[in-house]
Chain A
Amino acid sequence: MGIELASLSKSYDGQNWTLKNINVQIKSGEFFTIVGPSGCGKSTLLRMIAGLISISDGTLKIDDQDVTNLPPQERSLSMVFQNYALFPFLDVKSNVAFGLKARKMPAAQLEQRVAHALELVGLSELKARKPRELSGGQRQRVALARAIASDTKICLMDEPLSNLDAQLRSKMRSEIRELQQNLGITLIYVTHDQVEAMTMADRIMVLHAHEVQQIGTPSEIYQHPANSFVAQFFGTPRMNLLSVHYSTKNQRHLQVDPLLDYVLPMDIEEGDYFVGVRPNALEIHATAQASNAAIKNIEYLGTQSIIHALLDNQEEVRITTAQNNTFSLGERIQIRATAAYFVFDNTGRAIFFNKGDGEDGRTNYKQTVTNAL
């Protein structure tokens, strides 16, 4: 079942847009993730798709049928909530069966559906327990089973893993992904966690400041971010954004400082730019003579270290390096460019990227994003 959002908008007061002009086609069987910082409207968007919040403008189609004004139960979808929405006074089985029972499904069919759903999430043994007798991960699974039991082809999930600890979260990530594959359902998954989005999704929609920033596969988003917001949102540690002024007399040299110099393969207009460099795309050298930065802090992570350095032009940069224990606090260092970098104009829009593998060129995205910064 495909889902189509055509210029979907939401405004509560008729003046300010909570969500503006959302367009996307979600394919049948796709794992589609909506990601963005808190307050970006991602939960609102999900609830609009569910029918829990009315749509102010635009159309929503499920399976080519216009459902913009249909109540939730007529959209044939299921939803998993952040707090799991499990009734504390019902046991696991009754929680899973709640909706089916309310709609007066025949007992035999209900039993079979519930048993099947509980089996899929591996909770058959615990079906007589109350939610408070379950661990966080098990509660999460009950919520999944409840969605599965409804036997809909579309499932919406609203930050389903954010109440779990880090280890469990990564385990549940793959479980949900597998479940989605096996059941062949279309899954719309809302999260604020870029790692979740990257690791689970077929495609990602990045929401920020009430608008779509970019839609694409995880690799497209990471490799070709549409703007500096997307570029900085994905990847840990965050991408460095260094401001530079370019004038034609520089002859294709984008100079952050004399030692940190990027050579452009073509001409760009004069003006202010940001050079975006991922922390692993900077070289760091211990040097006595030609230094351009000092080390402020070192985070030792085992296989690598993150070095926070202050460039002499007072910009902070993050650099990851595998050379552990080589550097010390306050040490003068030289930071040099590698071939991989991005260039954003002064509104944050990506105008150029160079992955450092010979493939480079001007970016060409359909979306024009106005307020990326």
Chain B
Amino acid sequence: MNKNITGPNFQRLGQLFVLILLALFILIPFLLGFWTSLLPTADISKGSLWSSHISLDNYYTAITQTPIIRYLFNSLVISFFTMAAQLLFCSMSAYAFVFLEFKGRNTLFYVFLATMMLPFEAEVIPNFVTVRNMGLLNHYAVMIIPFLTSAFGTFMLRQSFLQIPGELKEASEIEGLSHWRFYASVVMPYSRISLFTLAAYSFLASWNQYLWPMLTTFSDDFRPVQDGLRQLQSQESFNNWGMIQASAAIVVIPTLIVLFIGQHYFKSGLNEGAVK
């Protein structure tokens, strides 16, 4: 009865149509990937995607015959340590730029900013030589050490630390808190939403690394999952589509779950922040 206010019905239908079309564009590659991961490769190669031979065989093959689980584990280790290190070192340098008074602070900050303009991809050649000389090739360390800190993370946390009310710093000075105590017990808890964002960002960035691990790892013991999938794909070279899709699914399902839980947590975290 109130259609004049909410808009005519055909407009609503139009909106729904656009929604569904967009959702299909996003979803079809997912759905097709999951669906084919359940089919025997023989059926897929024949082009009969509507096969009814559904099973988890491909998953079984992927897990038992390929190092996919090992790849996942490697990525998890690398991403976790990269994330933890970035949280620590980025927050420390951001703290220095906000709460410490020293000569050349602004200059140094601009130097940090400038590094954000330099793409890692343009520096792989000398970096490759460096890690080779350090004897780090083909080891977890080679994928963690260059990314222990990031200028972006420092910049982001600095912005967040700037929002901390000056009264908190004054109060802690009156109470005689050291910089370490202030950093650990006030600044970090206060900026937990930014820290969480950085954590998610650095974890994903590390998880999605492709070029660097491709250059620096040669064995399945250390190869992260992105390059692992590349390895599988080139070895099987389009022959075993079912298994390739199953491996992709094994990789993507945990990230999707983490993403949706993370989104939920992130939203409630934001609300919590808003109340305070």
Identify the A interface with B (CB < 8 A). Answer: 51, 54-55, 69-72
Q: Report A-chain residues with C-beta under 8 Å of the C-beta of B106.
A: none
Give the nearest-CB partner of A74 in chain B. B4
User: Across the interface, do B2 and A70 meet the contact criterion of CB distance under 8 Å?
Assistant: no
* Set of chain B residues within 8 Å of A69, measured between Cβ atoms: 1-5
A100 to B5, CA, bound (A): 21
State how many angstroms separate the Cβ of A59 from the closest Cβ of chain B: 12
Question: Which B residue's beta carbon lies closest to that of A54?
Answer: B2
Question: How far is it, in angstroms, between the C-alpha of A55 and the C-alpha of B1 when the chains are bound?
Answer: 10
A51 in complex: contacting residue of B1, B3, B5, CB < 8 Å: B5
Q: Is the interface of B mostly helix, strand, loop or mixed?
A: helix
Bound-state Cα–Cα, A54 to B5, Å: 7
Report the bound CA distance from A71 to B2 in whole Å.
9
For the complex, count residues of B whose C-beta is within 8 A of A: 6
5 new A-B contacts at CB < 8 Å, known A69-B1, A69-B3, A70-B4: A51-B5, A54-B5, A69-B4, A71-B4, A71-B5
In the complex, chain A residues whose CB is within 8 Å of the CB of B64: none
Residues of B within 8 A of A72 (CB): 5
- Indicate if B6 sits at the interface (CB-CB under 8 A): yes
Closest 3 CB pairs of A and B: A54-B2, A54-B5, A71-B4
A-B contact pairs, 14 of them (CB 8 A): A51-B5, A54-B2, A54-B5, A54-B6, A55-B2, A69-B1, A69-B2, A69-B3, A69-B4, A69-B5, A70-B4, A71-B4, A71-B5, A72-B5
CA distance A70 to B1 in the complex (A): 11
| Whole-angstrom CA separation of A69 from B4 in the bound complex | 6
By a CB distance below 8 angstroms, the chain A residues around B4 are 69-71
Taking CB atoms, residues of chain B closer than 8 Å to A70 are: 4
Cβ–Cβ < 8 Å partners of B1 in chain A: 69
- Residues on A with C-beta less than 8 A from B6 are 54
- Complex alpha-carbon distance, A21 and B6, angstroms: 23
Chain B 1-38 near chain A by CB (<8 Å), digits 1 or 0 = 11111100000000000000000000000000000000
CA gap between A265 and B6 in the complex, in Å: 58
Measured in the bound complex, the distance between the Cα atoms of B4 and A136 in whole Å is 36
**Contacting residues, chain A, for B3 (C-beta < 8 A):** 69
Q: A71 to B8, alpha carbons, bound, how many Å?
A: 11
CA distance A216 to B2 in the complex (A): 32
Report the bound CA distance from A88 to B70 in whole Å. 53
The closest CB in chain A to the CB of B1 belongs to A69
> In the complex, A69→B6 CA distance in Å?
10
With the chains together, A55 CA to B2 CA distance in Å?
8
Rounded to whole angstroms, the CA-CA distance of A274 and B4 in the bound complex is 49
Q: In chain B, residues 48-77, which have Cβ atoms closer than 8 Å to a Cβ of chain A? A: none
Bound-state CA distance A72–B6 (Å) is: 11
Residue of B nearest to A55 (CB): B2
Q: How far is the CB of A268 from chain B (nearest CB, A)?
A: 48
CB distance from A53 to the nearest CB of B (A): 8
Q: Which residue of A has the minimal Cβ distance to B2?
A: A54
Q: Which of A51, A54, A72 has the most CB of B within 10 A?
A: A54
Q: Which residues of A contact B2 (CB under 8 A)?
A: 54-55, 69
